Amino acid sequence: MPALDVTKRNLSFNSLGKDQSFPLRVWTQTSVPNQQNTQQDDAKKCCEEEEFDEVGRYQDFHTIDWLREICRNKLRHRQIYLRKFDSCFNRIRAFHDAISAWLLVLLIGLAAGTCAGLIDTTAKWLGDLKVGKCSTFFYMDKYACCWNVQLDRRKCPEWQTWAEIFVNLTEGQTYAFNYFAYVVGAIILSTLAAILVKGYAPYACGSGIPEVKTILGGFIIRGYLGKWTLLIKTVTAPMAVASNLSLGKEGPLVHISACCGNVFSALFPKYYSNEAKKREMLSAAAAAGVSVAFGVPVGGVLFSLEECSYYFPMKTLWRSVFCACVSAFILAHLNPFGPRHTVLFYVHYTQPWHLFELIPFAFLGMMGGLYSAAFIHANLAWCKFRKNSRLGDYPILEVMVVTLITAVAGYQNPYTRIGATPMIYELVKECHPWETNNLCDYMKTNANVTNPHDAPIGNGLQTAVWQLFVAWVFKMVITTFTFGLKIPTGLFIPSLGVGALMGRLVGIGMEQLIWRFPDCPLWSHDCHEGHSCVIPGLYAMVAACASLAGVTRMTVAAVVVMFEMTGGLRYIVPLMLCVMCSKWAGDIFGHEGIYDGHIGLNGYPFLESKDEYFHTALVDDVMHPRDNDPPMSLVREEMTIGELDELVKTTSYNGFPVVSSRDNKHLIGYLYRKDLILALKNAWAYSPNIDEDSVVFFTLHAPGVAEYTLNDRNPIRLFNVVDLSPVTVRVNTPMEVVVEMFTKLGIRQALVTHNGKIAGIVTKKDVLRHIAVLHGEDPDAILFD
Amino acid sequence: MPALDVTKRNLSFNSLGKDQSFPLRVWTQTSVPNQQNTQQDDAKKCCEEEEFDEVGRYQDFHTIDWLREICRNKLRHRQIYLRKFDSCFNRIRAFHDAISAWLLVLLIGLAAGTCAGLIDTTAKWLGDLKVGKCSTFFYMDKYACCWNVQLDRRKCPEWQTWAEIFVNLTEGQTYAFNYFAYVVGAIILSTLAAILVKGYAPYACGSGIPEVKTILGGFIIRGYLGKWTLLIKTVTAPMAVASNLSLGKEGPLVHISACCGNVFSALFPKYYSNEAKKREMLSAAAAAGVSVAFGVPVGGVLFSLEECSYYFPMKTLWRSVFCACVSAFILAHLNPFGPRHTVLFYVHYTQPWHLFELIPFAFLGMMGGLYSAAFIHANLAWCKFRKNSRLGDYPILEVMVVTLITAVAGYQNPYTRIGATPMIYELVKECHPWETNNLCDYMKTNANVTNPHDAPIGNGLQTAVWQLFVAWVFKMVITTFTFGLKIPTGLFIPSLGVGALMGRLVGIGMEQLIWRFPDCPLWSHDCHEGHSCVIPGLYAMVAACASLAGVTRMTVAAVVVMFEMTGGLRYIVPLMLCVMCSKWAGDIFGHEGIYDGHIGLNGYPFLESKDEYFHTALVDDVMHPRDNDPPMSLVREEMTIGELDELVKTTSYNGFPVVSSRDNKHLIGYLYRKDLILALKNAWAYSPNIDEDSVVFFTLHAPGVAEYTLNDRNPIRLFNVVDLSPVTVRVNTPMEVVVEMFTKLGIRQALVTHNGKIAGIVTKKDVLRHIAVLHGEDPDAILFD
């Protein structure tokens, strides 16, 4: 009686039962095994035959094996292309397969642009709704409502504050009423957002970038990029922004874009069924996220490349650019009342910068780096406290309290009362002679002077300086408590805001310094009386860039985002300088950016490809088991179903090496736990005549079937689920080589051999824990495998 | 009598003799071997002890092993940092080590910017010298000479043509005399360049990008990036450009930058002594090359990332941006007479594009793709012919003939008479009402019409169209024969030129079409009488981008270069569309860009990381030897010096596996041929009492020394040069995994094992030949290992 191939049976069953299309063909192809050249066939099959319904899927909170996924995709690709000329249907399928990447990035771009447009519009409307409403069309925000009277800019009778609508009050009472409405509005919005997030999509909280980065690094968090998260985050992000908390919509937009990428990939089996391929699309989606957040496609792509993505082949670069452009294009066309430029803060300075200004720019860079180091440490400490104390049990209450404080304290300062985005725009702008706001209130000693800066500060500016300083301190403190609340919280805008406030202050200071001491040799050559010399707005821009770069530890992406915003290469040298200073100053206190910090806080297994490994350990210092016992292994031809069931029940390993015999443990292959469990389940369900003592063998052909079929028990063949070419390293390989292999190949585990015999297993978790120990960190903080 | 450690002896000798600093310390550290835990120690030593003077160097025209180089660098890094606190000197050394990367990229940026400035100035001066000279200062080009009279722009008495200087001639004679001077000048310049290249630096010919790409991919071509190449290429590139051949200075600038990178890396042992680290700097240098060529730093970085580089870690990205910015900054400050914008063709269009224009843009993209496919095939065929025929023996004559044809034919057409760069600038410009050149000669039917385009073409434009068409055909043909001449020949500018000529023609056609049929539903909505509708200059820009993208197969970099040139995101959609169409159209005829084609033509072993491997082969189809004999191996404890000498003499393998015994060939390690030869040479030179029968062993401790020391012959220990952790793959590993490992880890060979025993070796050359066979190409075209 021939051996029963359980997996094959199961597969044919499955494929006939519910999913005829793909697995069936794979199996019929291999159903007549070639008797010659067995070893080679075996290995080919290994790669081909694992393609069935559930085998090869990953569990939640587990790491994927990039190499295996890439191998699976190549099999799929081969299958389709070999059959391309068989029939018209197959030809269409091949064509569909070829263009599906472009279709998918197009869809992602369209969706990301649309979501961003929706969020933008809703956030503005809700934000204004705290203050008043449009009497003509209630669904219009203040800008749209007053669109017709833009030219006048002063009076807009269509827009009414709540005090104007409901009651006739004195001026003081109006202020109090509006203040009250503002605070209550903010609390309602943020509480509603917190309730929605807690009730419907807990994953929709936070910025999402740490998790997106972890997922792109090859980790599975089911539901994190699901439709519910997409929906709830799209709904709650504008509420959170409108409640004037110190947060932005930029991080959440990256998460939302990634959700779009995941949701739409369900339409394309090529991407849905392959975790590595799916991540290529998620990288493109992340690029689209930043692209729509700021209107900077190239900056978005570089953000995805530098900060988010792990595996970024060249074709992904190209598709990311496409995706980012499509989304920015859509956003620009969805925004009928917006400015003509699609970038968030389009500024065009009329003057160049001077060489001596590199000194204050470097200072601002360093300040940005120091601020961000302090922020990262404080925020991580607070988040750790929240996690480990009872505070974490009351997320809604926490949101309410933070909103209350932010709104009550923020309303009294004009720079915190308006949203962070318009505030930053105010700060980075140049003062033109016709401008009348406080920031441009200089004492015009000479009416002929066209330059408003070349003068002592006026009363308005004096007030403004004081307000800016208060706003700066307040923003610094409150952002620390805001990032990590259980609502969508982005960090780009608050970081830019803190930086811009400081930069503007320093800029005004520089300007006054030059005005007071015009003969200082540093600037006497560049600055002349009656002519502009420094632009405080540029200082705000530079400091904003430094602060952003410090907090996120982006470098190139931060510079490119800022230079796309300023629309020119003219200021690239100051921007680069400040980013470099910020990075150097920040690195003194730790190389970790805020996102890496949060990844560590959550215990995700993220192997940073940017870090270098400089230690002398060998792989046998790191592998498990450490003692000289080889690891729990499956023996090729000797084990029984009972033994396997026992093994699965008593251990929690993610996979088992398959060895040649109990004594001579030559490595044959590797079997994933999940695949083994599935195969055993199927064996019990569909194989006749088996019991606990049935022999299982992991070879292609039963090597003497007769002796295993005693008592009418059929032997079970589990060859098809064994990976015959696991990555192996020799027992005396230095860890630096092993780390290189883990980072570059994206493998999940490597088998350690000694003269061909299995000596141990080293997993990604082992590597991460080893690195944590070397860095003096707690290795048990890495929770997942 | 204890075994003599030849390598150690040799090393101590060497280190005391000439280079005390580094190797000595490594050796003293390991000179007291730890008797316990030998295996682990062995492996650590393997990585540490191979660091001495000549071991680990590569031969000319050989591939480097990235993994090994990275490992060597980490050892060096550890050495320096462990000793950091030992003394003040070591502290300075560590600091120097830490900042050397930044110093080096700064130097490269400065040098690249300076070279570009020199080439720019010289090329302009030499180019104008063909036509005439400046009477006031002979070293000034026409633009500088006439600087004072720029406002008038018509007359510039300081600038005299040769005819004006030497003879008083009639108008016809003047034309003939100037024509003659132009042709003779061109031939003199190009011939001189060819003679210099042939005589002093043969590697200075061509664009250099294919070779730079190969070198960055991990190949050694000694002297290709040397000082002589740098000098000669810097001198000859302006001559070649000035001779008005259809070539550009952009490719050579990448080569020159890379030379600067290589030359300056000699100042920093960190980079000079490590091929992998050096290549990080060369990547940054390549970015600086494109940055100065066009004045586009971000585009340059993306060019380096997309087109040139192989191993591009994140920190290289950041340093590349810095290097590219520094070089662009220097160039801008070296160019006192240049325009205010540092980019090559700064254009600013006054109008947006319309949706219907996407149709002609897509058409232009496709045309660009088709042209580039034709160009690549024709140029490669011509280069192959040159290589295999007697034509290759007369490089100078060939240059003279091509120059003669180009000059004689080119002078008669105003668009080929001027250099390609001003021509492209003319073509991409918008026509303003005040412009009087032929390209803007429209019949102004209505004097009030502010837009010159909304009118039928005038006589001037009619002539121009005809001339553009002739220039287009001529450029297409002559570029095919020019690229590959034995002088510096860049391809960016000719590609842009061909594209711009076609684009302008199509643009003028579109414009007239709209003027003739204003009611066509396609554009009747967007175009109104009396208003501009299409900009022929934009068509030229789009088509230039398509042609550049097609020829070089850059995608993102081409778009970013063009969008940095146009200075805005407004035209990114047309540019992306045309690049995509160009790529798709070009891919029909082959995926290979011109640079990949030339790499293939020269037989360099370049493993393209962008290509995917989709076949089913296993590693034992590819490895050597193919039969069941295991490869030539060294046996751990049994071989004699004589046998080893014989082995080295009779074989040409690049390395030998070390196995446990003659019968039981368990893999122990790998020994590079070069290291073996060096060790044997040292053994003969410095070891007493050895002869041909002395036993060599490859273990840390002699396993019973007594029996090997018969007849007073000392055994020789060659343990230190053995790599104990070579990358191994199992015999049934699919080739797709092997290809992934070769591309991602950058290894040079992998040892194939079967149950721990050596079964074969697979080298990069084997992999490349295997891929060539699968693609139906000639595997023997891959010449080098």
Q: Is there a contact between B666 and A745 if contact means CB atoms under 8 Å apart?
A: no
User: How, if at all, do strands B749-754 and B757-763 pair?
Assistant: antiparallel
Surface of B (567-606) touching A: CB under 8 A: 567-569, 572-573, 576, 580
> Chain B within 8 Å of A9 (Cβ-Cβ)?
no
Residue of A238 and A137 predicted with greater confidence: A238
| pLDDT above 50 (res B35) | no
- Listed residue (B598, B486, B594) closest to B205, CA to CA: B486
Percentage of chain A modeled with pLDDT above 90: 29
| pLDDT for res A335 | 67
Contacts of A730 in chain B (CB under 8 A): 667, 724-726, 728
Q: Does domain A95-334 have CATH number 3.30.70.890?
A: no
The answer to whether B99 faces chain A, any CB pair under 8 Å, is: no
Residue of B nearest to A614 (CA): B74
Which of B45, B301, B569 has the most A C-beta neighbours within 10 Å, making it the best mutation to test the interface with A? B569
pLDDT, greater one: A195 or A74? A195
* pLDDT recorded at residue A487: 93
The verdict on a CB contact (< 8 Å) between B610 and A315 is: yes
Query: Across residues B653-671, what is the average pLDDT?
Result: 86
A contacts of B774 (beta carbons < 8 Å):
none
Question: Is A358's Cβ below 8 Å from some Cβ in B?
Answer: no
Amino acid identity, residue B14?
A: N
Contacts of B726 in chain A (CB under 8 A): 730
Tell me whether the omega of the peptide bond preceding residue B734 falls within 30 degrees of 0, making it cis.
no
Task: Give residue for tokens 């009651």.
Answer: A167
> Which tens digit of pLDDT belongs to each residue from A280-303?
999 999 999 999 888 888 889 989
Write out the DSSP string of A586-616.
HHTT-S--HHHHHHHHHT-----SSS-----
Contact B572 A325 (CB under 8 A): yes
- Our measurement of the distance from residue B694's CA atom to the centroid of its chain's CA atoms, rounded to an integer in Å, reads 49
Annotate B411-428 with b (16+ C-beta within 10 A) or e (fewer): bebbbbbebbbebbbbbb
Minimum Cα–Cα distance from A574: chain B residue:
B325
Give the separation between CA B244 and CA A675, rounded to whole angstroms: 68
Instruction: Say yes or no for a CB contact (<8 Å) between B620 and A40.
Output: yes
Minimum mean pLDDT range among A259-273, B42-56, B690-704: B42-56
Cβ A740–B610 below 8 Å, yes or no?
A: no
**Which pLDDT does position A312 carry in this prediction?**
81
Mutation for testing the A interface, residue in B213, B616, B668, B753 having most A CBs under 10 Å: B616
B660 touches B639 (CB < 8 A): no
Strand A159-161 versus strand B667-672 pairing type: unpaired
Predicted confidence band of residue A149 (pLDDT cuts 50, 70, 90): low
Contact (CB, 8 A) for A257 and A108: yes
Query: Within 10 A of A188 (CB to CB), how many other CB atoms are there?
Result: 17
Q: Give yes or no for A346 touching B (CB within 8 A).
A: no
CATH superfamily entry for domain B355-602 = Clc chloride channel (1.10.3080.10)
* Contact in structure between B411 and B425 (CB atoms under 8 Å): no
The 10s digit of each residue's pLDDT in B432-473 is 777 777 888 777 655 554 555 556 777 888 889 999 999 999
Q: Give the pLDDT confidence of B229-278 residue by residue, as tens digits.
A: 999 999 999 999 999 899 988 889 999 999 999 999 999 988 988 999 99
Predicted pLDDT of residue A370: 95
Alpha carbon distance A250, A206 (integer Å): 11
Report d(CA A188, CA A204) in Å as an integer: 18
Is A441 within 8 Å of chain B by CB? no
Q: Fold identical between B1-63+606-785 and B355-602?
A: no
- Asked if residue B107 lies in contact with residue B259, where contact means CB atoms within 8 angstroms, the answer is no
* pLDDT of amino acid A509: 92
Contact B141, B125 (CB under 8 A): yes
Cβ pair A11, A719 in contact under 8 A: no
**Mean pLDDT to the nearest integer, B680-688:** 81
State which residue of chain A sits closest to B577, comparing Cα positions.
A322
Token couple for B488 = 């510096």
Mean residue pLDDT across chain A? 82
Task: Report pLDDT digits (tens) over B315-366.
Answer: 888 899 899 988 988 888 786 545 545 667 777 787 778 888 999 999 999 9
Residues 741-760 of B with CB under 8 A from A: 741, 744-745, 753-757
Query: Residue B176 — φ and ψ, nearest 5°?
Result: -65, -40
- Say whether residue B44 is in contact with chain A using an 8 A CB cutoff: yes
CA angle A506–A512–A513, rounded 5-degree value? 85
* A643-666 tens-digit pLDDT: 888 888 888 888 889 888 888 888
Nearest to A47 among B325, B729, B734 (CB): B734
**Measured distance CA(A348)–CA(B309) in Å, rounded:** 35
Q: What is the DSSP string of B111-146?
A: HHHHHHHHHHHHHHHHHHHTTEEESS-TT--HHHHT
Confidence of residue A334 (pLDDT cuts 50, 70, 90): confident
The residue in chain A having the minimum alpha-carbon distance to the alpha carbon of residue B559 is A321
Q: Which of A17-21, A408-412, A444-448, B709-713 has the highest mean pLDDT?
A: A408-412
Using DSSP's 3-state secondary structure scheme, residue B547 falls into helix
Cα B527 to Cα B433, B514, B524: the distances in Å are 18, 8, 5
Residue spans of beta strands (DSSP E) within A4-65:
4-5
CA distance B44 to chain A (A): 7
Helix axes A358-388, A594-602, angle to 10 degrees: 20
Give the span between the Cα atoms of A255 and A251, in whole angstroms.
Answer: 7
Long-range contacts of B449-454, Cβ-Cβ distance < 8 Å, separation of 24 or more: B449/B530, B450/B530, B451/B530, B451/B531, B451/B532, B453/B511, B453/B532, B453/B533, B453/B534, B453/B535, B453/B536, B454/B515, B454/B529, B454/B530, B454/B531, B454/B532, B454/B533
Q: How confident is the model at residue A314 (pLDDT cuts 50, 70, 90)?
A: confident
* Residue range B480-503, pLDDT digits in tens: 999 989 999 999 999 999 999 999
Q: Identify the sign of the CA torsion A169, A175, A176, A181.
A: positive
A568 to chain B, closest Cα gap in Å: 7
Rounded-to-integer distance, Cα A399 and Cα A391, Å: 11
The single residue listed with the structure tokens 């909103």 is: A403
- Min mean pLDDT across B48-57, B68-77, B220-229, B587-596 is at B48-57
Q: Which of B213, B308, B618 to mutate to probe the A interface, most A CBs <10 Å?
A: B618
Out of A620, A621, A737, the one facing B71 most closely (by C-beta) is A737
Q: How far is CA A282 from the centre of its chain?
A: 9
Structure token pair of residue A211: 């998790």
Residue in chain A nearest B615 by alpha carbon? A78
Are the C-beta atoms of residues A702 and A647 closer than 8 Å to each other? Answer: no
Residue of A nearest to B313 (CA): A610
Using the predicted structure, report yes or no on whether residue A19 has a pLDDT greater than 50.
Answer: no
Asked if the C-beta of A565 comes within 8 angstroms of chain B's C-beta atoms, the answer is: no
Rounded distance, CA B597 to CA A19, Å?
44
Domain limits, chain B = 1-63+606-785, 95-334, 355-602
Q: Do A43 and B618 touch (CB under 8 A)?
A: yes
Report the pLDDT averaged over residues A720-745.
87
Q: pLDDT tens for residues B567-583?
A: 666 788 888 889 989 98
d(CA B455, CA B442): 6
Fold of A355-430+461-601: Clc chloride channel (1.10.3080)
**Chain A contact present for B318, CB below 8 A:** yes
Mean per-residue pLDDT, B516-536: 81
C-beta atoms of A564 and B569 within 8 A:
yes
B342–chain A Cβ distance below 8 A for any pair:
yes
pLDDT digits (tens, 9 = 90+) for A555-594: 888 888 887 776 666 788 888 889 989 988 998 888 888 9
Q: How confident is the model at residue B29 (pLDDT cuts 50, 70, 90)?
A: very low
Minimum-distance CB partner of B43 among A610, A732, A755: A732
What is the CATH number assigned to the segment(s) A1-57+605-785?
3.10.580.10
Contacts of B539 (CB under 8 A, 6+ apart): B360, B361, B364, B503, B504, B506, B507, B510
- Which chain A positions have a beta carbon within 8 Å of B612's beta carbon? 74, 77
Q: Which residue has the higher pLDDT, A612 or A522?
A: A522
Pick the CATH number of B1-63+606-785 from 3.40.50.720, 3.30.70.2740, 1.10.3720.10, 3.10.580.10: 3.10.580.10
Which tens digit of pLDDT belongs to each residue from A687-717? Answer: 777 778 788 878 776 555 555 555 556 777 7
Q: Do B755 and A555 touch (CB under 8 A)?
A: no
Which of A404 and A781 is assigned the larger pLDDT? Answer: A404
Which has the higher per-residue pLDDT, A155 or A127?
A127
Tokens of B147: 């600087």
| pLDDT given for residue A507 in this prediction | 93
